[in-house]
């Protein structure tokens, strides 16, 4: 099996390290907010999830698709009318500085967070003071990367004119948490969410691809999905590998007849789904296209594949691919 690497799980509590908060690097213990913070009360924030992979041979920590994540971060902030006082270059600069200050030599997950920071009751967006922080924590796999058992959730994916689905809004993750919690309490690994029209949107915290007759299919950006960075990466790898792909609506029952199904996202990476609603996907084991793309992905993110070196930003600048 292609392996992403080991490390703490996403459930580990974070209580140490150096973080970037209010324009400075600070100890974790000094990055605190008031109980009356607008975003804490109303979910008026936006965030990113970025991974950085450690390559022991290169002695280098590679930030994966950092610029693309920060471009989406700024788009989310624009939708929520949050002023972020840095451009993509500035955000990348502080991210590298924060990671270097922590001297990480392992895989980490990076969490930029921009939010309505005022201690204020009024429910609105304009005229509410904004705050910005970036922290990180060591993290291994978010879910297993093969053999996932999924179920279609009874929770419907947020619609774009209810809570903007293409923005990575903090409050919107109540929707993902409800769906994921139900699924995992029922013994599944993941929840697949339908949109209000009953068609497939995505999984609780990742985008979804199916494979039918050798063609990769994923839902379009107008299907109430988060416009995933990894989703674009899959398109690029598919092109290089000569797989055709299409963005079109996916019916629920296509999940049951697909040859292969996989999830992709910064957290889940590229993970094969082998059972949905008690039906085996294809032959019930991870299919050849998923396996091929997964292998390519794990090599690329760790800086082992020169073809994809432009996906990566080194933190320590010691070279590598």
Ligand X SMILES: Cc1ncc(COP(=O)(O)O)c(C=O)c1O
Q: Which of the residues are catalytic?
A: 168
Q: CB within 8 A of 32, min separation 6: which ones?
A: none
Here the tokens at position 293 are: 């793309």
Of 63 and 118, which CB lies nearer to ligand X in the complex structure? 63
> Between the CA of residue 224 and those of 60, 187, 246, 247, what are the distances in Å?
37, 26, 17, 13
**Binding status of residue 265 toward ligand X by CB under 6 A:** yes
Number of residues that bind ligand X (CB under 6 A): 14
**Binding status of residue 95 toward ligand X by CB under 6 A:** no
* 179, 182, 187, 192 alpha-carbon torsion, rounded to 10°: -20
Instruction: Name the segment binding ligand X (CB under 6 A); options: 224-232, 238-246, 289-297, 313-321.
Output: 224-232
Three-class secondary structure of residue 181 per DSSP: helix
Residues 33 to 62 in contact with ligand X, rule: CB under 6 A: 49
Here the tokens at position 265 are: 């996202």
Say if residues 134 and 112 touch (Cβ distance below 8 Å).
yes
In the list 151, 218, 219, 230, the residue contacting ligand X (rule: CB under 6 A) is: 230
Residue 148: closest CA among 292, 290, 295: 290
**Binding status of residue 139 toward ligand X by CB under 6 A:** no
Across 290-309, b (16+ Cβ under 10 Å) vs e yields bbebbebbbebbbbbbeebe
Instruction: Name the segment binding ligand X (CB under 6 A); options: 24-32, 89-97, 199-207, 286-294.
Output: 199-207
In the list 206, 219, 269, 321, the residue contacting ligand X (rule: CB under 6 A) is: 206
**Binding status of residue 176 toward ligand X by CB under 6 A:** yes
Of 39 and 167, which CB lies nearer to ligand X in the complex structure? 167
Of 63 and 128, which CB lies nearer to ligand X in the complex structure? 63
Here the tokens at position 107 are: 């895989």
Instruction: Name the segment binding ligand X (CB under 6 A); options: 7-15, 76-84, 95-103, 221-229.
Output: 221-229
**Binding status of residue 273 toward ligand X by CB under 6 A:** no
In the list 60, 189, 202, 260, the residue contacting ligand X (rule: CB under 6 A) is: 202
Q: Where are the alpha helices (DSSP H) in 103-217?
A: 173-185
Residues in touch with ligand X (CB under 6 A): 49, 176, 202, 205-207, 226, 228-231, 265-267
């Amino acid at each position: 099996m292609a392996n992403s690497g080991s490390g703490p799980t996403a459930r580990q509590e974070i209580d140490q390290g150096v973080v970037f908060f209010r324009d400075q690097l600070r100890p974790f213990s000094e990055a605190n907010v008031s109980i009356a913070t607008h975003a804490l009360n109303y979910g008026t924030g936006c965030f990113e999830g970025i991974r950085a992979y450690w390559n022991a041979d290169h002695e280098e920590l590679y930030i994966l698709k950092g610029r693309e994540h920060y471009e989406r971060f700024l788009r989310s902030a624009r939708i929520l009318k949050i002023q972020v006082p840095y451009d993509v270059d500035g955000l990348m600069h502080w991210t590298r500085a924060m990671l270097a200050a922590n001297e990480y030599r392992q895989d980490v997950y990076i969490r930029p967070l921009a939010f309505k920071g005022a201690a204020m009751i009024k429910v609105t967006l304009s005229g509410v003071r904004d705050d910005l922080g970036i922290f990180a924590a060591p993290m291994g796999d978010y879910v297993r990367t093969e053999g996932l058992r999924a179920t279609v959730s009874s929770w419907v994916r947020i619609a774009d004119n209810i809570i903007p689905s293409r923005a990575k809004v903090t409050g919107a993750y109540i929707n993902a948490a409800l769906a994921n919690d139900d699924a995992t309490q029922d013994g599944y690994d993941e929840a697949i969410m339908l949109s209000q029209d009953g068609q497939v949107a995505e999984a609780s915290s990742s985008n979804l691809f199916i494979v039918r007759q050798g063609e990769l299919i994923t839902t379009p950006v107008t299907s109430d999905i988060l416009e995933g960075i990894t989703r674009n990466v899959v398109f690029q790898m598919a092109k290089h590998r000569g797989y055709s792909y299409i963005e079109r609506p996916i019916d629920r029952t296509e999940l049951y007849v697909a040859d292969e199904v996989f999830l992709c996202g910064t957290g889940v990476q590229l993970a094969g789904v082998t059972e949905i609603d008690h039906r085996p996907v294809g032959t019930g084991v991870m299919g050849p296209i998923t396996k091929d793309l997964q292998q390519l992905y794990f090599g690329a993110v760790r800086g082992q594949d020169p073809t994809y070196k432009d996906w990566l930003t080194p933190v320590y600048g010691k070279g590598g691919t």
